[in-house]
Structure 1
Amino acid sequence: MMSGYYSQIFIIMGINILLAMGLNLITGYTGQLSLGHATFMGIGAYTSALLTKAGAPFYASLLAGILMASFFGLAIGIPTLRLRGDYLAIATLGFGEIVRTFLNNLSITGGPNGIRAIPLKTNLTMVIILTVLCFYLLYRLQSSRLGKVMRAVGQDEIASEATGINSSYYKIMAFVIGAGLAGLAGGLYANYFRYINPANFTFNKSIEILCMVVLGGLGNPFGPIVGGVIISALPEILRNISPVVSQYRMVLYGLTLIVMMIIRPQGILGGSGLFSSPRREGHFKLFRLAKEVIRNADS
């Protein structure tokens, strides 16, 4: 009932929302700045594409892409446990460049030419169902004890450890789950566009995903939906306004994002209390108190 053009836009929206939800768990919940999220998407895309072309069932190839991306999330999460802020960002950026170099030089991945003629398996209904299901699970995670502990680690890791929380365990868990969601998005992407190459999963794509999370509202469960919809739809909306606007749509797209960040730097839903309860702040009073006790003891 929908034209191919609009169907493709909604599929791209769903894939971007999945990517943003995964990064929001890593950055918004546990406070880890990752600049290699597109790398996990690429790992899932290549794994799923190779298995699908080999004749494997589509859902089995999707699951394999999720597991492979999660494995690499675990592999990068463990050695970077003690890194924070800019150092962690540089480490994840370096990991992304390493993976991209391998993809460009391995014969099984097609090198810089990528993989062509991937079977078309992804459709709009499938993307909607998987996106809604993943959002529901992450929303339940936020209100659970696990989600509250992850938020506590993101707000103050030292105070969390002072209360007996193993912050390393929860940071790795966030990395693994977030990478798995990116792998799922990559598998859907590969089996819809039917062609992938290393240029699809570069640093620029990671920055685009980070923009979705920050624009929607860092740490808000609805933030990835808002950010993913805006960044996916805005270029197409500008394209259809007029020929002049279409010619400069990417310039206007960038200016729009800059203006929105100046007006609301915390994101559209960040700090507004929308869809979130201010009472949750009470869960972190204990951690802030523990931090003050530690500071007083040191002094």
Structure 2
Amino acid sequence: MFSIKELKRAFLTSLWFMFLTFPLLVMKVNTITDTVIWRWMNLLYVGVGTFFLSILWKYLLERRDAKGSDSTKNPFNEKISKYMKNKRVKTSAIVALLLIVIIYPFIMSMYQTSIMTTALMYVVLGLGLNIVVGFGGLLHLGYAAFYAVGAYTYGLLFYHFGISFWICLPLGAFLSAVFGILLGFPILRLRGDYLAIVTLAFGEIVRLILENWNDFSFGPSGIANIPRPDFFGQKLRLAQVTNFTYFIAIGLTILTIVLIRRMESSKMGRAWEAMREDEIACQSMGIDITKAKLTAFSMGAVWAGIMGVLFAAKTTFINPASFTTWESIVILCVVVIGGMGSIPGVIVGALIFILTPEYLRAFSQYRMLIFGIALVMMMIFRPGGIIPKIRRSYKFSTDSKETQEGEA
């Protein structure tokens, strides 16, 4: 039960909210008849709704504090991890997921397939940024610049030299990695907010160059008529190429997951995590911080470059407006909401973050409001993300026989 003090606070909150919303929700001016329509019922709805929502909010905060903010102790997470350790359950889940992935474009419309392709692209972008932010602990707000490098690599090389999509795919990755190293060198000594500001400026510099250097990038007009991916030189119809692009995105997503999991368990992956926890202690243990940072920036940029090439092929048109700071923020939100450093979390976060606004189009006027409220609730009650990264723990056990022999 709630105390009198808490009920009084909820009542005062509702009164204050009624006062703030009074001009907007109660007064309606009819400019034709020069009269004011008073909608007092709206004021009552606001007051009652705010009162009960305030009580509910207080209850949820107390429940969160009672359970603790450590989301890794969530019973749901423990139950899922317990089931996934069972090989039969894990194999069945993987087979079912593969079947759904394969038949998806054949049972869904072309529009739904295109949306899912976009979501898969953001999965790869999120996993790429997760290397920098989640593994390395480096706040990066200019990630869309590498995305633009990949897209313009394909657009410009095709326009000037007629180079195909499949050749531009590794070239876009290579050039983005080079830009990642060029960005990494000047900011080796920067951390935290200073690093975020510099990477944000880098993203804006790339966008402004693309927007104003008309002789090079065609300015705001962009590059049109970029060809979609072909199948061994054979041109495909629109429906066929949409499904083909979807399967390309699936293949690149699987490749990204496999490679990043391998990198996470490698020597460099452990160096990234050590750098994220404490850079000074990491350096004192003999880890080359310069190499770790440059590798994180370049490897993260590789996936952005690949997805930039795929984005140009999917849309057949690119211009600087597609690579604004907002694009970098969206990708960063995918990583944070999914769970920084967590590969399954980033995948789920990307799918939810990209697909939810599309499927809320039925609430056209309120969909972004609903989505924004959901994000705020998510960050308050689950700050570790949807699937937070679980720290690895190692247990050392000694055999009793060996112990006895050693003592003898």
2:388 pairs, out of 270, 280, 297, with 270
Q: Name the residue aligned to 1:60.
A: 167
Structure 1 residues 220 and 196 mapped into 2: Cα distance closer, same or farther (>3 Å)? same
Structure 1 residues 76 and 281 mapped into 2: Cα distance closer, same or farther (>3 Å)? farther
1:255 pairs, out of 369, 373, 387, with 373
Q: Name the residue aligned to 2:223.
A: 115
Counterparts of 1:140-151 in structure 2 under 5 Å? 140-151=262-273
Provide the C-alpha distance between the structure 2 equivalents of 1:33 and 1:99, rounded to a whole number of angstroms.
Answer: 18
Residue 142 of structure 1 aligns to a residue whose secondary structure is helix
Matching residue's letter, 2:393: R
Provide the C-alpha distance between the structure 2 equivalents of 1:72 and 1:55, rounded to a whole number of angstroms.
Answer: 23
1:93 pairs, out of 200, 213, 225, with 200
Provide the C-alpha distance between the structure 1 equivalents of 2:227 and 2:318, rounded to a whole number of angstroms.
Answer: 12
Q: Deviations over 1:236-281 (max 9, x none)?
A: 1211xx4xx122212211121111111101111115x3xxx53169
Cα offset for 1:26? 0.2
Matching residue's letter, 1:69: S
Cα offset for 1:164? 0.6
Matching residue's letter, 2:191: R
Counterparts of 1:23-42 in structure 2 under 5 Å? 23-42=129-148
Cα offset for 1:22? 0.9
Cα offset for 1:113? 1.2
Counterparts of 1:1-299 in structure 2 under 5 Å? 1=106, 2-53=108-159, 54-106=161-213, 107-121=215-229, 123-239=245-361, 242=362, 245-271=363-389, 273=390, 278-279=392-393
Give me the CA root mean square deviation. 1.6
Matching residue's letter, 1:152: A
Matching residue's letter, 2:339: G
Checking the alignment, whether the CA contact within 8 Å between 2:165 and 2:228 is kept in structure 1 is no
Provide the C-alpha distance between the structure 2 equivalents of 1:146 and 1:236, rounded to a whole number of angstroms.
Answer: 38
Residue 123 of structure 1 aligns to a residue whose secondary structure is helix
Q: Deviations over 1:190-245 (max 9, x none)?
A: 10011111111111110000000000000112222011101111011211xx4xx1
Structure 1 residues 36 and 149 mapped into 2: Cα distance closer, same or farther (>3 Å)? same
Provide the C-alpha distance between the structure 2 equivalents of 1:270 and 1:25, rounded to a whole number of angstroms.
Answer: 15
Structure 1 residues 131 and 280 mapped into 2: Cα distance closer, same or farther (>3 Å)? farther
Checking the alignment, whether the CA contact within 8 Å between 2:141 and 2:328 is kept in structure 1 is yes
Matching residue's letter, 1:18: V
Matching residue's letter, 2:305: G
Cα offset for 1:18? 1.0
Q: What are structure 1's unaligned runs of at least 5 residues?
A: 283-299
Cα offset for 1:29? 0.7
Matching residue's letter, 2:225: A
Provide the C-alpha distance between the structure 2 equivalents of 1:89 and 1:180, rounded to a whole number of angstroms.
Answer: 20
The percent of aligned pairs where both chains have the same amino acid is 44
Q: Name the residue aligned to 1:292.
A: none
Structure 1 residues 193 and 57 mapped into 2: Cα distance closer, same or farther (>3 Å)? same
Provide the C-alpha distance between the structure 1 equivalents of 2:128 and 2:276, rounded to a whole number of angstroms.
Answer: 15
Q: Deviations over 1:46-90 (max 9, x none)?
A: 111222343212111111111111111000001100000110111
Provide the C-alpha distance between the structure 2 equivalents of 1:84 and 1:223, rounded to a whole number of angstroms.
Answer: 25
Provide the C-alpha distance between the structure 1 equivalents of 2:207 and 2:395, rounded to a whole number of angstroms.
Answer: 41
TM-score in terms of structure 2 length:
0.65
Cα offset for 1:92? 0.7
Structure 1 residues 280 and 130 mapped into 2: Cα distance closer, same or farther (>3 Å)? farther
Q: Deviations over 1:158-182 (max 9, x none)?
A: 1111111111111110100001111
Higher RCO, 1 or 2 (CA under 8 Å, sep at least 6)?
Answer: 1
Provide the C-alpha distance between the structure 1 equivalents of 2:191 and 2:394, rounded to a whole number of angstroms.
Answer: 25
Provide the C-alpha distance between the structure 2 equivalents of 1:142 and 1:280, rounded to a whole number of angstroms.
Answer: 16
Residue 78 of structure 1 aligns to a residue whose secondary structure is helix
Comparing 118-127 and 49-58, the one that deviates more = 49-58
Q: What are structure 2's unaligned runs of at least 5 residues?
A: 1-105, 230-243, 397-408
Provide the C-alpha distance between the structure 1 equivalents of 2:323 and 2:134, rounded to a whole number of angstroms.
Answer: 22
Residue 386 of structure 2 aligns to a residue whose secondary structure is coil
Query: In the comparison of the two structures, how many residue pairs are matched?
Result: 274
Provide the C-alpha distance between the structure 1 equivalents of 2:345 and 2:395, rounded to a whole number of angstroms.
Answer: 18
